């Protein structure tokens, strides 16, 4: 006999991350490897080890400050909010899990879009709820299709904006109009992991005054803190209070909190990163045009490129050359790849290897 697992586990597929440099190095015995698969910041973190050293030596033996006062004060200034409007988590994925734990029960409906972040699927399955993936319009979330799918059982709507992996996004005004025309019993989650790279900005004032909207953000992308795992959510006091009830008490470590706090003051890093990303996107657009490849205009730090043949075979071929990209097969796009914007020399190397593959 063995322990009986929850029936929901049989419906959950393993999360498929981008391949690591270490795994490719071991498999192909390579040394010069670049990773352009997971949308990490090619400039590294927005803080230095020296800035974090004191936090480690002084605080590593103590449990984290659960109030996270300094970081919350900074975020309050950023959003013109109260501390009660913000919760910090172990990456924005942790926040998304809090939302599922706080609001989903068995047989509730969750609505999102096709070709979007797989964690929404996983969390829905864990809670025994039903996932509805609505069709996109021009590879962009369709609010009309989402609205048409709403029923009395709908509990959560997940909107990735900008969307991963297409890089497309909805305007804040359109989301606001959508929210105003659906039942207030539905929690609308706006996942803004990539919003820092977009020129289309958000008015958070209306969201802080709307009883069923939660906005999630992360320090992983723009600020280069993916390895430290820290993100947060902004919402009404009632919504945040409910998330705090299911949050693990010490889910975010001291170093991550210190790094996030210091990263928020590094405006020069943000400007430098955005410049790098915009120049990199322009390069990819130009090269794809020359090669006759279709692609999507991106509001994120990556580009979605469509190939004439299998994305999986392209992924394998480039891995053997030490270039890690992301095949979008698991997102339902069998002939598309996602490439993170890297340093100029990395971008050039990707395109050179892609040209060789397509020959």
pLDDT on residue 242: 98
Nearest to 163 by CA among 111, 213, 216, 116: 116
Q: What is the mean pLDDT of the chain?
A: 95
Q: Which domain holds residue 349?
A: 7-44+267-358
Q: What are the tens digits of pLDDT across the range 74-111?
A: 999 999 999 999 999 999 999 999 999 999 999 899 99
pLDDT at 169 over 80: yes
CB 192 within 8 A of CB 217: yes
pLDDT on residue 17: 72
Q: What are the tens digits of pLDDT across the range 280-308?
A: 999 999 999 999 999 999 999 999 999 99
pLDDT at 54 over 80: no
Query: At 292, which CATH number?
Result: 3.90.1150.10
Judge whether 37 lies within some domain. yes
pLDDT at 151 over 80: yes
Quick one: 116 and 186 in the same domain? yes
| Domain tally, the chain | 2
**Neighbour-count burial for 304-322, b at 16+ CB within 10 Å, e otherwise:** bbbbeeebeebbeebbebb
Query: What is the DSSP code (8-state) at residue 18?
Result: P
The pLDDT of 135-160, averaged and rounded, is 98
The pLDDT of 211-226, averaged and rounded, is 98
Q: What is the largest CA-CA distance in the chain?
A: 62
How many whole angstroms separate alpha carbon 315 and alpha carbon 324? 7
pLDDT on residue 121: 96
Judge whether 242 lies within some domain. yes
- What's the token pair of residue 178? 């959508």
Point out the domain boundary residue: 212, 243, 263: 263
Judge whether 320 lies within some domain. yes
Q: What are the tens digits of pLDDT across the range 115-136?
A: 999 999 999 999 999 999 999 9
């Amino acid at each position: 006999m063995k322990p009986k697992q929850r029936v929901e586990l049989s419906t959950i597929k393993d999360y498929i991350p981008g391949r690591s440099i270490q795994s490719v190095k071991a498999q192909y015995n390579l040394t010069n490897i670049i990773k352009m698969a997971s949308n990490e910041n090619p400039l590294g973190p927005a803080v230095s080890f020296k800035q974090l050293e004191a936090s480690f030596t002084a605080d590593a033996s103590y449990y984290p400050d659960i109030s996270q006062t300094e970081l919350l004060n900074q975020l309050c200034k950023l959003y013109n909010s109260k501390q009660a409007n913000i919760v910090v988590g172990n990456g924005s994925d942790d926040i998304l899990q809090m939302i599922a734990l706080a609001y989903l029960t068995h047989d509730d409906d969750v609505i999102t879009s096709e070709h979007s972040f797989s964690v929404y699927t996983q969390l829905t399955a864990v809670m025994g709820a039903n996932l509805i993936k609505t069709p996109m319009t021009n590879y962009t979330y369709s609010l009309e299709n989402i609205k048409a799918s709403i029923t009395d059982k709908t509990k959560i709507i997940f909107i990735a904006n900008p969307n991963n992996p297409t890089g497309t996004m909805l305007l804040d005004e359109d989301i606001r109009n959508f929210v105003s025309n659906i039942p207030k019993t539905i929690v609308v989650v706006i996942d803004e992991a990539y919003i820092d790279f977009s020129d289309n900005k958000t008015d958070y004032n209306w969201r802080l005054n709307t009883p069923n909207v939660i906005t999630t953000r992360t320090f992983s992308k723009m600020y280069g803190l993916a390895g430290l795992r820290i993100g947060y959510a902004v919402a009404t006091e009632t919504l945040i209070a409910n998330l705090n009830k299911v949050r693990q008490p010490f889910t975010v470590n001291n170093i991550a909190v210190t790094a996030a706090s210091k990263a928020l003051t590094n405006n020069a890093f943000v400007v430098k990163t955005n410049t790098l990303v915009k120049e990199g996107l322009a390069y990819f657009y130009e090269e794809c045009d020359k090669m006759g490849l279709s692609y999507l205009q991106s509001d994120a730090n990556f580009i979605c490129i469509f190939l004439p043949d299998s994305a999986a075979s392209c992924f394998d071929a480039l891995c053997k050359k030490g270039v890690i990209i992301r095949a979008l097969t698991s997102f339902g796009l069998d002939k598309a790849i996602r490439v993170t914007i890297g340093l100029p020399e990395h971008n050039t190397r990707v395109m050179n290897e892609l040209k060789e593959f397509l020959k």
